A and B are shown apart, each in its own frame.
Chain A
Amino acid sequence: MSVDTHAHATDSAHGHGHGDHGHELPFWRKYIFSVDHKVIGIQYAVTALVFLFFGFCLMMMMRWQLAYPGQPLPVLGKLLGENNMPGGVMAPEFYNQLGAMHGTIMVFLGVVPLAVGGFGNFVMPLQIGAPDMAFPRLNLASYWIFLPGCILMIASFLAPGGAAQSGWTSYPPLSVIAPAGQTFWLLSMVLIITSSLLGSINFIVTIVHMRAKGLTFWRLPFFVHAQLVTSFLLLLAFPPLEAASVLQLMDRVAHTSFFLPSGLVVSGEQLKVAGGGSPLLWQHLFWFLAHPEVYVLILPAMGIIAEVIANNTRKPLWGYRLLVYSVIFLGFMSFVVWAHHMFMTGMGTTMSTFFQTTTMIISIPSVIILTCFLMSLYGGNIRFTTPMLFATAFLPMFAIGGLTGLPLGLTASDIYLHDTFYVIGHFHYVVAPGTLFALFAGIYYWYPKATGRQMSPLLGKLHFWFSFVFINFVFMPMFFQGMAGLSRRLYDPTVYAHGRGVQALNVVISWGAWGLGLSQLIFIVNFFMSLKTGEKVAENPWHSTTLEWAAPSPPGHGNFLTEPVVYREPYEYSVPGHANDYSPQFVAEG
């Protein structure tokens, strides 16, 4: 990457070995502008967790309006100002801002940075036995481009007219004529995409070039395969949204009409633009990104689940090669399903039929992956540790999310279900009790590696059970609301008669969401308390087989005390005739 890096690299090879360093870096170099992948991973993870909680808070406010439409919100209603909350009642514009920002924050500032930036950065180099990422300074740059993007996104609440309010999908023409917050959204998106681009290049080079001696592709942990495919999706799917953001920015700032059709009438007046553009073009560009994005959300989660399940069933993953082939196939297919989000746009039956077919095909590898995980449980001597609880819950939750997606992928049933709460229920089952549970599993699983201490198992189990119960109260009723025809973006769900019949469910969902919010406090307490009081652990507290457990807990700069060598496949648990029920990749004789 750079002159200095190389010069030091040569020095350190001659001067001193890994993990033994002559000088201490100053605080800001060690923890703020660090080039160490572990520090950057933790920075990403903590930032993402903060934004996940923030995005969830936005939703908890919206849930008040949905459960008790038009009633003043207690306490918060007065704090948020007369513009947003006239007389303590949520204004429709503010409701729209909360909705758009909830989606954007959860996806782009929460789940992706945690799953890829956090876990990918921290775990992946350790699992492949590398001393760091291939380009440590590029890694630093990608975090410090990401963070200003996030701050810009949040700052848009202070812009005149408030934050972006055209949904997380920012469909034109509405988004083009929206207040200034939308411009913030677009600029912030350009920064976040640039950051993930730099990150994905770094990930791919690291995985391909920097594996430890003996670590062939068929010996990589499944998590690394998942991160590799995810990186390719980030690399190739995000630039089209960058292009689309630039075009929308031009529409807003330079008054072009890429997405504005001729003769567009706004508030009774014809809009004075050249016209001739296509709103559908935005949807194509957006979903070309956003469908692979769905797999960016789920693949790292599947990677984490694979690690946790193999470790806690004490047996090899069932169908490891099948899993790898499936994840690669998923990656390819995710580029040709995007327009199943657009069946209702009138793009034509030929297009719809094509995308309906590819959508049905892509469900096959997903089912294979889930089946492999399920088969891995069979006959295992399962340890129900906190990470394993989250991982086992992931399986049925992700299955519900996946199966409820099939009616949406078929054009006929989608006509009825499109843009209802059914859709909200479907993708939240995939991302919330699916991906987020997997990410929690990952936090509980790798916390000892990052800090040298265990998180409290008691608090962990409380956190799991409360979250598991409440989250189903939140998302299960949405299927019924959606099948009753309730539209997903209504400010007042009781405005139409067909919504009033399922309004009681909105109260259930809202209390479920607030309960879920309170349950996360257990996690926050556990997360910080365990830093001081958690049980101290050695390198390999879970008796795991993969390389990250060969490094000290927490690993020093340079990661490994001696250069690791890999002797076997990643999940050799309970090998017959061995004294231990695990044979680590890094031990020559097991």
Chain B
Amino acid sequence: MSDTAIPYMVKPNPVTGIPNGKFAIWLFLASEVMLFGALFSSYVLIRTGAPHWPPEGGLTSDLVSVPLGTLNTLVLITSSITIVLSWASCKLRNLKMFKVWMAITILLACAFLVVKYFEWMHKFELGHFPSHDNYFAIYFVLTGLHGLHIVGGIVVNLYLLTIGARMWNKDPEHFTNRVENAGLYWHFVDLVWIFLFPSLYLL
């Protein structure tokens, strides 16, 4: 598309020690920290301003399923490991194993969403919509936005697994960098959940 030679697409830049793409993904994650940071701050502010939390009384753990949340936490942590293994396979120049690990990562991500779907549906059946009270408002916004990030990750990983993998023949190093960047993003999405789980399910 572009005729001009863009430097440091693959090779690291001497100033930062990383290529363009990796630098960009770190900057993107910095802005994501601000996005989720703003939402967590809103949560803290609303919660500390409430006479009781959750507003309708009782305990948070009565309103959500802690076992399902724990299961999802394990699913996501495992997927973080498998995406590292897929990147390591690229580093070892083993495309086949990359595909295996990446496929497992995607399946785990889908499993997470399926569990999330049943959790949401159960709440809707009980009439617990976002408008019910501010606990459910913040619950649905935070888990919903996190879910969208999971969907985004699945799309990127699917691309890398299928048409994106064609790059392997031309430039395996560039492709490996891309897998690493996708992995950085995936770890971040995982990390957000590590904060979400205790603050929405346990506390």
Contact = CB atoms under 8 A, between A and B. Distances in A.
Most buried by A among B4, B6, B50, B174: B4
Interface string B1-35: 11111111110010110001101100110111011
Given A210-B8, A276-B55, A8 B42 contact: no
Interface in A9-30: 9-10, 12-13, 18, 21
Given A5-B2, A239-B38, 10 more contacts: A205-B23, A205-B24, A209-B20, A243-B35, A247-B39, A247-B141, A254-B140, A273-B131, A276-B50, A558-B4
A290 to B, nearest CB: 13
A88 B61 CA distance: 60
Contacts of A132: 2, 4, 6
A237 B170 CA distance: 39
B6 A5 contact: yes
Nearest to A13: B5
B126 interface: no
A557 B4 contact: yes
B114 interface: no
A285 interface: yes
A78 interface: no
Of B20, B28, B32, B174, which is in contact with the most chain A CB atoms at under 10 Å from its CB? Answer: B20
Given A209-B13, A236-B30, A288-B38, A35 B1 contact: yes
Nearest to B12: A209
Contacts of A274: 55, 131-134, 137
Given A1-B21, A243-B39, A131 B6 contact: yes
Contact of A209 (B1, B15, B129): B15
A134 B137 contact: no
A235 B16 contact: no
A134 B18 CA distance: 13
B27 A201 contact: yes
14 contacts: A1-B9, A3-B166, A9-B9, A13-B5, A131-B6, A134-B6, A137-B1, A209-B20, A209-B23, A210-B6, A243-B36, A273-B131, A276-B134, A558-B4
Contacts of A4: 1-2
Contacts of A204: 23, 27
B170 to A, nearest CB: 7
Interface of A: 1-10, 12-13, 18, 21, 35-36, 131-132, 134-138, 197, 200-202, 204-205, 208-210, 235-240, 242-244, 246-247, 250, 254-258, 273-274, 276-278, 281, 284-285, 288, 557-559
Contacts of A9: 2, 4-6, 9
Contacts of B7: 209-210
Contact of A277 (B3, B32, B34, B46): B46
A533 B48 CA distance: 66
B172 interface: no
A254 B130 contact: yes
Contacts of A8: 1-3
Contact of B46 (A36, A254, A276): A276
B145 interface: yes
Contacts of A135: 20, 24
B167 interface: yes
B125 interface: no
Interface residues of B, number: 50
B49 interface: yes
A208 B42 contact: no
B44 to A, nearest CB: 10
Given A3-B170, A277-B134, A285 B3 contact: no
Contacts of A201: 24, 27-28, 31
A225 B38 CA distance: 28
Contacts of A239: 31-32, 34-35, 37-38
Contact of A6 (B9, B38, B42, B134): B9
A109 B198 CA distance: 40
B1 A246 contact: no
Contacts of B203: none
A27 to B, nearest CB: 16
Interface of B: 1-10, 13, 15-16, 20-21, 23-24, 27-28, 30-32, 34-39, 42, 45-46, 49-50, 55, 129-134, 137-138, 140-141, 145, 166-167, 170-171, 174
Contact of A208 (B10, B16, B141, B145): B16
A131 B170 CA distance: 24
* The 3 nearest A-B residue pairs measured at CB: A256-B137, A240-B38, A239-B35
Given A3-B166, A197-B31, A274-B134, A258 B46 contact: yes
A244 B16 CA distance: 33
Contacts of B24: 134-135, 138, 201-202, 205
Contacts of A2: 1
A210 B39 CA distance: 35
A210 B171 CA distance: 22
Contacts of B34: 236-237, 239-240
A559 B5 CA distance: 11
A589 B198 CA distance: 65
Contacts of B140: 254
Among B35, B140, B145, B174: residue with most chain A CB under 10 A: B35
Contacts of A250: 130, 137, 141
B173 to A, nearest CB: 11
A7 B142 CA distance: 40
Nearest to A211: B15
Nearest to A235: B31
A240 B37 CA distance: 8
Given A35-B1, A246-B141, A235 B30 contact: yes
A135 B140 CA distance: 34
Contacts of B45: 278, 281, 284
Contact of B8 (A131, A209, A257, A288): A209
Contacts of B42: 243-244, 247, 258, 281, 285
A340 to B, nearest CB: 19
A158 B130 CA distance: 29
Nearest to A209: B13
A236 B28 CA distance: 10
B1 A136 contact: yes
